[in-house]
Amino acid sequence: MIEFARYYVQFIRNLLANIWKFISNIFKAIADLLFNDIVTYFEDLALASEEFYFLDWLIAVIIIGINLVFFIFLLIRLYQFLRRYIRFVKSELEKDELLEEVALITQKNIELADEKNKILALKMGVSTTGYLDSGQQKIVDSKKIKDSRFIKLIQVDEAYKNQITTVSMEVEEMLGLSDLITQFINFSASRMKLYYDRKTIATYFSGMATSKIIILEGISGTGKTSLPYSMGKFFNNDAAIISVQPSWRDKTEIVGYLNEFTKKFNETDFLKELYEATYREDLNFIVLDEFNLARIEYYFAEFLSMLEMPDVNEWKIDIVPDKLPSDPKHLEEGKLLVPQNVWFVGTANKDDSTFTITDKVYDRAIPIVMDTKADYIDAPYTESINMSFDYLETLFNEAIKTNPVNPKTMDKLEKLDQFVSTKFKITFGNRILKQIKTFVPVFIACGGDEYEGLDYIVSRKILRKFESLNLPFLKEELQELLVLLDKLFGKNKFKESADYINSLLKQI
> Each residue of 54-77: pLDDT tens digit?
787 788 788 888 888 888 888 888
Q: Looking at residue 338, which CATH number applies to its domain? A: 3.40.50.300
Burial class (CB in 10 A: 0-12, 13-18, 19+), 84: exposed
> Each residue of 176-205: pLDDT tens digit?
999 999 999 999 999 999 999 999 999 999
Q: What is the pLDDT of residue 131?
A: 32
Same structural domain, 464 and 342: no
SS3 label, residue 221: coil
Same structural domain, 416 and 362: no
* DSSP H stretches of helix in 322-403: 359-364, 389-402
Does this model's pTM top 0.85? My answer is: no
Which residues form the domain of 238? 171-369
Residue 243 counted as domain residue: yes
Same structural domain, 361 and 471: no
Q: Which uninterrupted H or E stretch holds 344?
A: strand 342-348
**Whole-number average pLDDT of the chain:** 86
Residue 164 counted as domain residue: no
Residue 100 counted as domain residue: no
Domain boundary at 91, 126, 160, which?
91
Domain boundary at 51, 66, 91, which?
91
Residue 140 counted as domain residue: no
The pLDDT-based confidence of 123 (bands split at 50, 70, 90) is very low
Q: Is the pLDDT of residue 113 over 60?
A: no
Same structural domain, 425 and 287: no
Residue 352 counted as domain residue: yes
Q: What is the pLDDT of residue 220?
A: 80
Residue 325 counted as domain residue: yes
> Computed from CA positions of residues 371, 377, 381, 382, in that sequence, does the dihedral angle turn out positive or negative?
negative
Same structural domain, 204 and 278: yes
* DSSP H stretches of helix in 238-345: 252-255, 269-277, 296-299, 301-306
Residue 129 counted as domain residue: no
Query: How many domains, in total, are found in the chain?
Result: 3
Same structural domain, 186 and 282: yes
Same structural domain, 238 and 355: yes
Same structural domain, 226 and 365: yes
Q: What's the whole-number mean pLDDT along residues 247-266?
A: 90
Same structural domain, 454 and 339: no
Residue 144 counted as domain residue: no
- Range name among 25-29, 122-126, 155-159, 456-460 with the lowest pLDDT average: 122-126
Q: What is the pLDDT of residue 203?
A: 96
The pLDDT-based confidence of 96 (bands split at 50, 70, 90) is low
Higher-confidence residue: 13 or 390?
390
Residue 441 half-sphere exposure, CB side, CA atoms within 13 Å?
A: 21
CA 377 to chain centroid, in Å, comes to: 38
Q: What is the pLDDT of residue 135?
A: 38
Same structural domain, 472 and 420: yes
Same structural domain, 66 and 183: no
Same structural domain, 432 and 494: yes
